[in-house]
Structure 1
Amino acid sequence: MTGDHERGPHHGRFVVVPAAYVFLLREGDTGAEVLLQLRQNTGYMDDYWAAAAAGHVERGETAYAAAQREAAEEIGVSEIDLEFVTAMHRTRGAEPIDERIDFFFTATRWRGEPQVLEPTKCADLRWFPLEGLPEPVVPHELVVLDGIRSGWVPAYSSFGFAQD
């Protein structure tokens, strides 16, 4: 008799996909600003503004290391002084996608000038005041940005579930 452990890499269980997000922050002329990218050609939330750097956590990699790697790969910054903000358990309700766990970080110090390194996926990279974000912003990311702007983000949140 075969057990669940012999069925393959997911052992017959549902999958939760981890991702790491980096919001670079700075003080601008009118207050705090965040660096956002305009997504394109990704198949997910194209033409929405999103975290300047974000991506899946790879097998054997911590969310912190993934945030550092994604920032280097997507916007060319390194030595990021990351501050953990929140973890968000996310789904799209009735749509048949894997559930997600998103780890959000902010940073106010890093090395290098942010620039678009993946022009096929990023149409624009721009600083915006937290008090004047562009539209549209990826909805679950907007929840976190609203929390950063207000000064309070829960350590854990959920998004897209029936009880939200």
Structure 2
Amino acid sequence: MNDQTSQTDSAPPHQPRVHPQRANASALIYNESGAYLLHLRDDRPGIWEPGSWSLLGGGREPGDRCLEETIRRELREEAGLDIPDLLPFAVERARSSDGTTIPIQIFAGQWSGDPTDLELTEGVMLHWFRPEVMPRLRMAPSTRELVRRHAELLDAGRYGPAPSTTFADADTTAAGRPQQQRTRSAAATSGRPVPTIIGVHLYLENAHGEILLGLRHPDSAYAGKTWHFLAGHCEQESAVACLVREAREEAGLLIDPGDVEYVHAVHLIDAPGTPPRMQLVFRARHWTGTPEILEPDRCVSWSWWRPEALPEPLVPYARAAIDGVREGRLYTEWGWT
């Protein structure tokens, strides 16, 4: 994490002051014994959390094509570390010195080396700590909570990337139609059972038969600079409740749950090594409000599109879902061997 930010859990979810360009990436590194690699920061004024234990990471630079490149570059520069398998785990937020919030993509990966053998170029030292020791350490509560969540999934054998954290770019043909990519899931590549992640998507048509789509922010954790449904993931709630909440938080749309109907599902594997996802699509027959940009770190524009003239680039499974809805089909499989 760069020196001008501090982690925050208090930013209002519906009106964050998000920095329009900056984004950070951090690495949650764990070993086969369930310990986590922490970085002791320099104890000097003017930096974030001086003298505290933190995760390795930093800010995206102009030459980084994506945040995965950012974290791999930071690991090399800060500690000479190269971890082959880094998976997106979560998206956190930090508050910068000017009061805006900055998204932080958290990647998780396993490494079992000796940190004393690494050439540390920033901070004081690296050390392995078990999660139960961390309450005694000087560290940000949000970092401690992040480790706790990951450790619980790891102990339960249910570890996989968290919702909305996949960076893989889906392939399309020259005509923009989705190709049926055949990939192996995280379960197939790791030998461990991996639960299917559930996503919900809003299929909204106006009186002219146009479909609402949003252009995702260039630094979005998933599908940057790409058009997509209004979408989200369930947070201890039903799928319809999630859809209603996401519509309100992301675009200021008010939807009665009774006006929601299921219209399609895409069961897919997005890229090799990622967990399977069940993408549920619901249509709202009625709603109140005009789409607004309320989460500018995720979506920079809402527009209505004719189904025969959809924008490019468009998330391939969203296009497949639109085709399915218009053809009256309820289910599509994508990427399975």
Normalised TM-score (structure 2): 0.42
Cα separation, 1, equivalents of 2:243 and 2:331:
18
Cα separation, 2, equivalents of 1:22 and 1:160:
22
**1:87 aligns to what?**
265
Alignment match of 2:246 (pick from 67, 70, 79) = 70
- Is the counterpart of residue 159 in structure 1 residue 314 in structure 2? no
Q: CA deviation at 1:119?
A: 1.2
Alignment match of 1:18 (pick from 198, 211, 220) = 198
Would you say the 8 A contact 2:158–2:193 is kept in 1? yes
Choose between structure 1 and 2 for higher RCO, CA contacts under 8 A separated by at least 6 residues.
1
Instruction: Give the structure with the larger strand fraction.
Output: 1
Q: CA deviation at 1:14?
A: 1.2
- Is the counterpart of residue 44 in structure 1 residue 222 in structure 2? yes
Alignment of 1:109-124 (within 5 A): 109-124=286-301
Q: CA deviation at 1:36?
A: 0.5
Q: Which amino acid aligns with 1:68?
A: V
Q: Which amino acid aligns with 1:97?
A: T
Instruction: Give the structure with the larger helix fraction.
Output: 2
Q: Which amino acid aligns with 2:333?
A: S
Cα separation, 1, equivalents of 2:283 and 2:308:
17
Q: Deviations over 1:73-131 (max 9, x none)?
A: 111111242121122211025x1111111110112310122211111211211011112
Cα separation, 1, equivalents of 2:205 and 2:261:
11
> How high is the sequence identity, in percent, across the aligned residues?
33
Q: CA deviation at 1:9?
A: 6.6
Task: Kindly report structure 1 stretches of 4+ aligned residues shifted beyond 6 Å.
Answer: none
RMSD of aligned residue pairs (Cα, Å): 2.0
Q: CA deviation at 1:141?
A: 0.6
Q: Deviations over 1:21-52 (max 9, x none)?
A: 00211122xxx10010001121211111101x
Cα separation, 2, equivalents of 1:16 and 1:104:
16
